[in-house]
Chain A
Amino acid sequence: MTLADYLQLTFVQNALLVGVLISLCSSLLGVTLVLRRFSFIGDGLSHVAFGAMAVAAVAGMTNDMLIVMPITILCAVLLLRSGQRAKVKGDASVAMISVAALAVGYLLMNLWPPSGKSNISGDVCTTLFGGTSILTLSETEVLASIVLSIVVMIFFVVFYHKIFAITFDENFAAATGTNTKLYNLLLAIIIAVVIVLAMDLVGSLLISALVVFPALSAMRVLKSFRSVTICAACISVGCTVIGILASAVFSTPVGSTIVVADLAVFGLSSFLGLILR
C-alpha cells in the first residue's frame, strides 16, 4: 500500500486528527510545565490514575472514570497549586506522588485482587503505553478529543498573558493584583483532564514526550515566550503527523515512532542552537 492508500482509511484519518489535537494541546501546556520544572507531571499523574483505577477495581466500581478523574485532578491541583512558593519543589513532589500512588495501587490490587483481573503487571503496562491504541479509536473518543482540544486551545489563548506573567514571576504577579491562585487552579484542572484523557488514548510515555520535547526544542533556538509557544506547537504537530504516517508505512509502533521523530527534531534544534550562538 502507498501513503495515499493509507490516508483513505478512516482509522488513519482519525488517528491523525486526534494525534494532531492532542499534540497541540500538550505542547501548549508543555511550555509552562517545563519552565515550572514539572516536565514529568504526565508520568506522575498517570501513575496516580493507575492508583485510582486500583481503588476503583478493589471497590468493585464499574465506571472507574468517576473516581480516576477526581483523584487525578486533585493531585494535579495539589502539585501545581503552590507553584514557585512550594516547600517541596516540582520535580521532587511529582516523584513523591507518582511513586506513592503506584505503590499503594499495586499493594491494594495484591491485597484484594479484584475478580476478573488476574494480570496486574499487564495493567501497569497498559497505563504506560496506552489502553486503546491510537489506531483503534471509537467515534466517541474522537469526538471527546475534538471538544477537549477546542476547550484547551480557547483557554490557552484567553489566558496566554496571565500564564506568562505567573510562569515568569509568580510573586510579582500576586503582589500586583493578579489572581494567581485562581489561574493556577484552572491550569491544574486543564492539565489533569488533558493528561487523563490522552493517557488512555496514547499512553503516558507519549504524553511525557509530547509535553517536554517540543518545548525544549523550541527553547534551544528561540528567545521569546511567544515564539517558543508557537514554534513548540508547530514542532509537536509536525512530528506527530510524520510519526503516524511513518508508523503506518513501516508498520512500527505509533507511540515510539512519534517520540523518535520528536527526538530527531530536538537533536536538530540543539545543533541549530549551537551554530546560532
Chain B
Amino acid sequence: MALLTCRDLSLGYEGKAILQHVSFEVNAGDYLCIVGENGSGKTTLMKTILGLRKPLSGTVATGDGLRQSEIGYLPQQTLVQRDFPASVKEIVLSGCQGRQGMRPFYSRADRELAKENIRRMGLEALANRCYRELSGGQQQRVLLARALCATRKLLLLDEPVAGLDPKVTAEMYAIIRSLNRQEGITVIMISHDLGAALAHATHILHIGSTVYYGTRQDYLSSPVGKAFLQQGGVSQ
C-alpha cells in the first residue's frame, strides 16, 4: 500500500473551492515535487496532507503504518512572535518533540540528533543565538534543521530554498537528495525552482487550472509540462 493516498481532494477556504479533483499517490522512497503558480493552492494542499486543515471533500489516507510523529515539516512561513525568546538549540531540539509521547525529557540520542542537524545546516556558530536576531536565510536553516530532527519516514518541505544563498541552496538539495536516496526517506517538496525540481524529483504534481500528476519523464512530454516549462524558461 502507498505511504500516502489522496483521492479526489477538493480544497478551499470558507466553503469556496480553490482546487478540485486532486488525486495522487506517494510510495515509500518517492521524491515528489509540487509545482504551480502563486496562489494555486500548494501550501493549502500540504497543510491538508498534514491534517492541519480539513479538505472540502475527498480523502487523505496514510499507509505503511505511517505515523504523524514520523513526519518532518518545513512550513512556508512561521509566524513567530517578534519578541519570542528562543535559542537555535531549543528550536532545533523541539523537532524531536512529536516522538516523545508522554516522556517529559529528551534523550541523549535526541540531543545528538539535534546537534548533528545543527552541524549539517552550518549553524554551529549560531547554536546559542536568539532566533529572532538571525537573518531570514539563517532562520530558514534553523527551521530546516528542526524539520530534519522530526523526519523518520516522510519529509514535507514548503519552498525549502526560499531565501537561501546559492551555496546553501546547492547543499540543501544535496542533503534532501541523500536523505531520499541513502536513507530511503520519502520527500514531498513544493518548489518554484523548476530546474532543480526536475533534476531531483521522481514524480511531479502540477496544480493549477489543470491538475497533472505523473512521473518526471511523463510530465516533461505532457502538454501541461511543456507549457509550464516554456514560461519558466527552463529548457530540457
Beta-carbon nearest neighbor of A158 in chain B: B104
Residues from 220 to 267 in A contacting B, C-beta threshold 8 Å? 222-228
Return B28 CB to nearest CB of chain A, in Å. 18
- Rounded to whole Å, the gap between the CB of B114 and the closest CB of chain A is 12
Q: Does B32 contact A (CB under 8 A)?
A: no
Check B104 against A168 for contact (C-beta < 8 Å): no
Please indicate the chain B residues that have their CB under 8 angstroms from the CB of A172 in the complex. 73, 75, 78, 146
In chain A, positions 154-179 with a C-beta closer than 8 Å to chain B are 157-162, 164-165, 168-169, 171-178
The reply to whether the CB of A126 lies closer than 8 angstroms to some CB of chain B is no
Q: Is A82 an interface residue (CB 8 A)?
A: no
A168-B80, A168-B91, A171-B75 given; A161·B105 CB < 8 A:
yes
**A-facing mask of B71-98, CB < 8 A → 1, else 0?**
1110100111101111101110111011
Selected from B51, B85, B105, B150, the residue in CB contact (under 8 A) with A219 is: B85
Known: A175-B50, A177-B98, A224-B130. A161 touches B71 (CB 8 A): no
Question: Is A84 engaged at the interface, CB distance under 8 Å to the other chain?
Answer: yes
Given known A176-B72, A176-B73, A223-B130, contact A171–B52 (CB-CB < 8 A): yes
In the assembled complex, A86 has its CB within 8 A of some CB on chain B: no
Complex: chain A residue closest to B99, CB-CB: A177
In the assembly, what is the distance between CA of A171 and CA of B47, in Å?
9
| Whole-angstrom CA separation of A208 from B205 in the bound complex | 51
Closest residue to A162 on the B side, CB-wise? B97
How far in angstroms is the closest Cβ of chain B from A176? Answer: 4
**CA gap between A277 and B206 in the complex, in Å:** 48
Interface residue? A147 (CB, 8 A): no
Q: Collect the chain A residues with CB atoms within 8 Å of residue B150's CB.
A: 176-177
Chain B residues contacting A37 (CB-CB under 8 Å) are 81
Range class of the A interface residue count: 20 to 34
- Chain A residues with CB below 8 A from B83, complex form: 35, 219
Q: If the complex has contacts A158-B104, A176-B98, A176-B150, are A224 and B71 also in contact, measured as CB distance less than 8 A?
A: no
Find out whether the CB atom of A164 lies under 8 angstroms from the CB atom of B68: no
- Supposing A160-B104, A172-B75 touch, asked if A225 and B85 sit within 8 A by C-beta, the answer is yes
User: What's the nearest-Cβ distance from chain B to residue A223, in Å?
Assistant: 4
Query: In the complex, A158→B70 CA distance in Å?
Result: 23
Q: Which residues in B have their C-beta under 8 angstroms from that of A84?
A: 79
Nearest chain B CB to A50 CB, angstrom units: 30
Among A173, A176, A223, max chain B CB count under 10 A is at A176
**Any chain A CB within 8 A of the CB of B106?**
yes
How far, in angstroms, from A165 to B100 measured CA to CA in the complex? 12
- Which of B68, B84, B85, B97 is the one whose CB lies under 8 Å from A161? B97
Q: How far apart are the CA atoms of A34 and B104 in the complex, in Å?
A: 23
Separation of A165 and B80 alpha carbons in the complex (Å): 12
Tell me the nearest residue of chain A to B104, going by C-beta. Answer: A158
* A225-B68 in contact given A161-B100, A172-B75, A175-B73 (Cβ < 8 Å): no
- What is the CA–CA distance of A64 and B113 in the complex, to the nearest angstrom? 52
**A171-B52, A175-B68 known; A35+B84 contact, CB < 8 A:** yes
- Write out the residue numbers on chain B whose beta carbons fall within 8 Å of the beta carbon of A161: 93-94, 97, 100, 104-106
Please measure, in the bound complex, the distance between the C-alpha atom of A227 and the C-alpha atom of B87, giving whole angstroms. 10
Taking CB atoms, residues of chain A closer than 8 Å to B94 are: 161, 164-165, 168-169, 173
**Closest partner residue, chain B, to A84 (CB atom):** B79
Q: What are 26 sample pairs from A and B whose C-beta atoms fall under 8 A apart?
A: A35-B83, A157-B104, A161-B93, A162-B100, A164-B94, A165-B97, A169-B78, A171-B52, A172-B73, A173-B97, A174-B50, A175-B52, A175-B156, A176-B69, A176-B73, A176-B95, A176-B98, A176-B150, A177-B71, A178-B97, A222-B85, A223-B130, A224-B85, A224-B90, A224-B128, A225-B86
List 9 tightest A-B contacts by C-beta distance, closest first: A177-B69, A177-B98, A223-B130, A176-B98, A177-B68, A224-B87, A175-B50, A165-B97, A176-B150
